Structure 1
Amino acid sequence: MRVHIAGFLKRPAVVAAISILILRGLTLSSRFLLSVLLARMLSPDEMGQYGLITAVLAFALLALGLEFYSHTLREMVPATPEKRTQIIADQITLSAITFLIIGVAASLAIFTGLFPSRLAPWFLLILATEHLSLEATRILIITSRPVRAYFVVFLRGGIWVYAIATLMFVVPSERTLEAVLIWWALGGALSIAFAAFSLSDLPWRNLKRYHPDWAMMLAGLRTARPFILTAAGALIISYVDRFIIDKFIGREALGIYTFYSTISIGLLSLGASASHQFLPKVIAGYASGRDAYRANLQSFFWSLFVITCGMTIVAGLTMWPMLALFGLSQYAASIWVFYSMLPGVLLRILADVPSYALYAARADGSLLLCNVGSAIISLLLNIVLIPILGIYGAAIASGVASGVLLLALTFLTVRKMREVHASPGATSLAGLPTDAEMLYP
């Protein structure tokens, strides 16, 4: 028996799965550590400023990448190594153009006083490293190197948190927002270096006479249009409340809200990690016909429901002891904000089930309509509720928007189930659902 177990654990697929699980666990744990670290070392005002920076970063990443990967990954799967290098080069060219435009916009924001000049260089460096690292991760996954891909994710979003945590405890002078941003940029640069090494086996020398394929870029941007709007809708639900809180309530209240939002986003990322495991089964079920499609969705829903309920219950039970352990009394006074967030977290994660169902059915228009509609509801509710209820209004607005998103997606999925027939060609991807790695604490 032991021999069989040992042999099973030594299988490459099993080793890869365990490695990915460990790397994801370490990365997601770092987000929790980061929230506690910032709450302990920074003032609520600085925490609020950090919350605004991460919100702007998420939208800037969308503007920089333009969801172009939804086109390039589809083209990269059947491509030769030589063609893959050209696709990557075209994507880098497009990113350089968009980064230049964002740089000009950032300069204007600094000039008008909308963005602090002392943080702007680090923000732009983080934006560049995060984008390159994120795209490299996707390329490594699509080229069947998932362990290396998730090691890149760990370098980009995990290891620097452990390093800065140690440094802040040892060197009090490093307990600043600038130090956090510097180490964040260093983690991104390290992840890019590792990704470049991992992709060094591609025939890059063939790019000596490279000329940008502008026609491919335009075609890719046309493909990416619905995904840009869908991703923008998801980001609005996650981040628009921070700007409204800062406007109507103040930076200190935003800092308290950012602390709990950081943990909520960590839960969303953990739920998304579980959801991603079911995506191939949902796509295969749609291709096989109505019965397989329905069966896979039911399995997906109940599995995700159990996992998500477990996560939210554990988070709810451990939050108060954790605040007491670290002496975060100022945050403990508003703990019910976190409890108000948990229903929205549960609903938002469960929305992955109908979202992936529609994605597998290539119902891009339905996904777009639901995400944009729920984003508009989130925006309006935040504007109405935050001036009245403060940060509790933001939590309620997020929960209602997530509930509307789940109901709308479920309604359209039920309708889609009635139309499903076996479709062997349905397994070709049109893009990817909204990437949870674009959600930042």
Structure 2
Amino acid sequence: MASGRAQLSNIFLRGLTLTSRFLFVFFIARFVGPTLLGTYGIFTATVGYALYFVGLDFYTYSTREMLKEKKTEWGRFLKSQLILSLLLYAIFIPSIGSLFSFNVLPRELMAWFFVILILEHVNQELGRLLVAISEQLLASLALFLRQGIWAILVVALMAANAETRTLNYVFAAWAISGFFAAILAMYRLKHLGISGWHHTVDWVWIIKGIKICIPLLCATLAIRGLSTLDRYWLQAIGGTEVVGAYVLFLGMASTMMAFLDAGVFAYGYPILIRTYQKEDSICFRKELRKMLRQTFIFSALFSAASLSILPFLLKWIGNSFYIQNHAIYPWLLLATFVNALGMIPHYGLYAQGKDRPIIVSHLVSVVIFAATTWLLSAIMPLLAVPIGLVSAYGYIFIWKSFAFLKLTPKEYNFALA
């Protein structure tokens, strides 16, 4: 019974976090206008992308290695990973700082950027560690604290006092919440009996981990690069104000993917891995069909619902600029829908350990996006970036689907068996 309550609490916290982030974009669009919203969107995308450079997704290697050992040895791994992170900060901070030197991002936001980047990185690693040791509820609570509660508080503050409707208040609330989320996670980890900190830094272990992480990291940087390059490209085409409209509509469309991640993919792909390892082809096919069915139904319902309520939301925001640029939304919705469908063959390949098609498709997708957007920029400047995303995700979906059909044994291939 206790575990059931914990699972329900976990789902509730995750849902509350997603909902608060969804509503936050609409409220901030109402309060600060498209230009500041565009700056916020570029800022958050850049923070998210920079995390991959200072983290290297090294957790995919370190977490697995730690779980093989007793907690009395974990300090050795965590210490080595910490040193690696410090080196990565030393390497990449100058190049990241150049974004402010060349005014790609406003210089007055530089201090907030690096404070939030460090806090997000620390919280990300701590959250992953909590999940790995089956502290999902605490991980969800920390996630809500750093991503959900501050958004609610900022909206309440801006509604009560017009003088607080600036990005400084947004980033201050984000940083404070991130600090307390980190304290909460570290407090729990302190009582786990982790030791082994006296060991010297294991450079052999670090180098081995980097070699393992780099190939998939390149693919991740490519696919995540689409959600960073899109905003910078749109800024170059139409200005920061247009990026504000784009961020508003993207925030609504991406909610579909966020709920699918939390409610479908997070539960489905571990089952695919487990059933493939157990050579249970029947359950493997069954789970893939289930994921495809749930993804299609939820995406269709979400698309219909969001297209229906969008006019009312734009009227409530009360800014004609968003209404004038509402044509962006159907394309972003289509891009998200195609991306969601592409996750089915993605996880089918991933569960079998067949990473090469995933890596290749992600790398080539950036070229597809750039080519499509460049060709359309002159004739359809407003829609060039969204259509570029549709092309990129469409290519990924087709490539992974063909790769899945070709590489998957017939008994595991639900499309052939």
Instruction: Confirm or deny a common fold (TM above 0.5).
Output: yes
Which residue is equivalent to 2:37? 47
- Cα 1:92–1:402 shift into 2, 3 Å: same
Mapped to 2, the partners of 1:378 and 1:111 lie a distance apart of 27
Alignment of structure 1 residues 233-252 onto 2, 5 Å = 233-252=222-241
Which of 150, 154, 164 is equivalent to 1:174? 164
Q: Does 1:371 align with 2:362?
A: yes
Mapped to 1, the partners of 2:410 and 2:58 lie a distance apart of 30
Which residue is equivalent to 2:249? 260
1:286 CA drift (Å): 1.5
Which of 293, 296, 314 is equivalent to 1:305? 296
- Cα 1:370–1:107 shift into 2, 3 Å: closer
Contact 1:371 1:405 in 2 (8 A): yes
1:77 CA drift (Å): 2.2
TM-score by length of 2: 0.94
Which residue is equivalent to 1:70? 60
Moved more, 43-52 or 405-414: 43-52
Which of 130, 144, 155 is equivalent to 1:154? 144
Q: Give 1:361's aligned amino acid.
A: Q
SS of corresponding position for 1:349 = helix
Q: Does 1:284 align with 2:271?
A: no
1:369 CA drift (Å): 0.8
Runs of 4+ displaced beyond 4 Å: none
Contact 1:378 1:398 in 2 (8 A): yes
Mapped to 2, the partners of 1:29 and 1:175 lie a distance apart of 21
1:132-160 Cα deviation digits (max 9, x unpaired): 11111111111111111111111111110
What are structure 1's unaligned runs of at least 5 residues? Answer: 1-10, 422-441
1:373 CA drift (Å): 1.5
Mapped to 2, the partners of 1:93 and 1:203 lie a distance apart of 21
Contact 1:167 1:174 in 2 (8 A): yes
Mapped to 1, the partners of 2:103 and 2:313 lie a distance apart of 38
Alignment of structure 1 residues 185-200 onto 2, 5 Å = 185-200=175-190
Which of 392, 396, 402 is equivalent to 1:411? 402
SS of corresponding position for 1:391 = coil
Mapped to 2, the partners of 1:214 and 1:420 lie a distance apart of 43
Mapped to 2, the partners of 1:205 and 1:171 lie a distance apart of 48
Contact 1:286 1:420 in 2 (8 A): no
Contact 1:244 1:386 in 2 (8 A): no
Q: Does 1:317 align with 2:317?
A: no
1:119 CA drift (Å): 0.3
Which of 89, 94, 98 is equivalent to 1:99? 89
Moved more, 35-44 or 198-207: 198-207
Which residue is equivalent to 2:103? 113
Q: Does 1:336 align with 2:330?
A: no
1:311-338 Cα deviation digits (max 9, x unpaired): 2222221111112223233212222211
What are structure 2's unaligned runs of at least 5 residues? Answer: 413-417
Q: Does 1:84 align with 2:74?
A: yes
Q: Give 1:167's aligned amino acid.
A: L
Mapped to 1, the partners of 2:17 and 2:131 lie a distance apart of 17
Mapped to 1, the partners of 2:178 and 2:378 lie a distance apart of 37
Mapped to 1, the partners of 2:150 and 2:392 lie a distance apart of 33
1:44 CA drift (Å): 1.6
Mapped to 1, the partners of 2:257 and 2:53 lie a distance apart of 22
Mapped to 1, the partners of 2:192 and 2:83 lie a distance apart of 18
Moved more, 281-290 or 249-258: 281-290
Moved more, 130-139 or 299-308: 299-308
1:259-286 Cα deviation digits (max 9, x unpaired): 1112222322122112111012111221
1:81 CA drift (Å): 0.4
Contact 1:241 1:394 in 2 (8 A): yes
1:295 CA drift (Å): 2.2
1:386 CA drift (Å): 2.9
Mapped to 1, the partners of 2:187 and 2:411 lie a distance apart of 44
Contact 1:305 1:350 in 2 (8 A): yes
